């Protein structure tokens, strides 16, 4: 099954070589972290490869892959649509029903409160895979190998700063999730 999923990813992102390199980077980084945290390497690979599959779909294509509930939830933040659509494509096309894989894809942009280990791995790997060229990718990866929650928190902080640097306001949901992980790292939750 992984071979078919991989084929589909190459077929879809083949015209976007930088993006294709990125998803391979996420898959590889996620697999390394999966070994460290005793998670399934196959699940990490699937989620990593598939998370951005809908990135270049038109709005209409993405909406076709979503039900009304999700459309409404993120109506003001269509940046999230590619993640929701990707999870739905994987579920419908490849009959992958594993909630861990689907949630890792669905919530890879902002994360969510109470993420599983695999979800955290994909969230962090998306930021620190080496091909993306972020200055702090080594630092984030090292941090992730030692303390996944702190790495999650760091990535969320960077993402919020990035939004603010463009003169935009992060969503209330994104801020709440970040605050939740700040509390987690302080030992106040979970």
With binding defined as CB under 5 A, does residue 39 bind Fe ion?
Answer: no
Q: Between residues 111 and 187, which has the closer beta carbon with respect to Fe ion?
A: 111
Residue 82 or 153 having the CB closest to Fe ion: 82
User: What is the C-alpha separation between 76 and 54, in angstroms, rounded?
Assistant: 18
Classify residue 66 by its DSSP letter.
S
For residues 57 and 72, which CB has a smaller minimum distance to Fe ion in the complex?
A: 57
Torsion angle defined by CA atoms of residues 104, 131, 10 and 29, in that order, rounded to the nearest 10 degrees:
-40
Nearer to Fe ion, 18 or 72 (CB): 18
**Cα gap 151→137, rounded to integer Å:** 11
Nearest distance in Å: CB 83, Fe ion: 9
**By C-alpha distance, which of 38, 187, 182 is closest to 113?**
182
**Given the complex with Fe ion, which of 55 and 150 has the nearer CB atom?**
55
Q: What is the DSSP letter of 159?
A: H
Looking at the chain, list the stretches that DSSP marks H as alpha helix, in order from N- to C-terminal side. Answer: 2-13, 17-36, 41-50, 59-64, 68-73, 81-94, 99-106, 117-128, 137-146, 148-165, 172-185
x/- letters, 111..130, toward Fe ion (CB under 5 A): ---------------x----
Q: How many residues sit in the footprint of Fe ion (CB under 5 A)?
A: 2
Q: How far is the CB of 26 from Fe ion (least distance, A)?
A: 6
Task: Output the smallest distance, CB 122 to Fe ion, in A.
Answer: 9
Candidates 89, 25, 28; CA nearest to 55 is 89
Site string for Fe ion, 77-116 (x = CB under 5 A): ----------------------------------------
Q: Of 43-72, which residues contact Fe ion (CB under 5 A)?
A: 52
Closest distance to Fe ion from the beta carbon of 186 (Å)? 28
**Whole-number Å distance between alpha carbons of 52 and 72:** 21
Q: Which residues in this chain contact Fe ion in the complex, by CB under 5 A?
A: 52, 126
């Amino acid at each position: 099954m992984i071979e078919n999923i991989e084929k589909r990813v190459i077929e879809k992102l083949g015209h976007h070589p930088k993006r294709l390199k990125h998803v391979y980077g996420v898959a590889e980084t996620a697999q390394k972290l999966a070994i460290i945290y005793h998670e399934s390497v196959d699940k990490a690979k699937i989620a990593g490869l598939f998370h951005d599959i809908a990135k270049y779909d038109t709005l209409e294509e993405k909406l076709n892959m979503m039900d009304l509930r999700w459309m409404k939830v993120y109506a003001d933040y269509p940046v999230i649509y590619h993640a929701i659509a990707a999870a739905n494509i994987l579920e419908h096309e490849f009959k992958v029903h594993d909630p861990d894989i689907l949630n890792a894809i669905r919530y890879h942009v902002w994360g969510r409160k109470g993420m599983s280990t695999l979800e955290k791995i994909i969230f962090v790997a998306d930021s620190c895979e080496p091909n993306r060229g972020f200055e702090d990718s080594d630092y984030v990866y090292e941090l992730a190998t030692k303390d996944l929650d702190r790495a999650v928190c760091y990535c969320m902080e960077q993402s919020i700063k990035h939004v603010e640097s463009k003169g935009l306001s992060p969503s209330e949901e994104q801020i709440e999730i970040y605050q939740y992980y700040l509390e987690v790292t302080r030992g106040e939750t979970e």
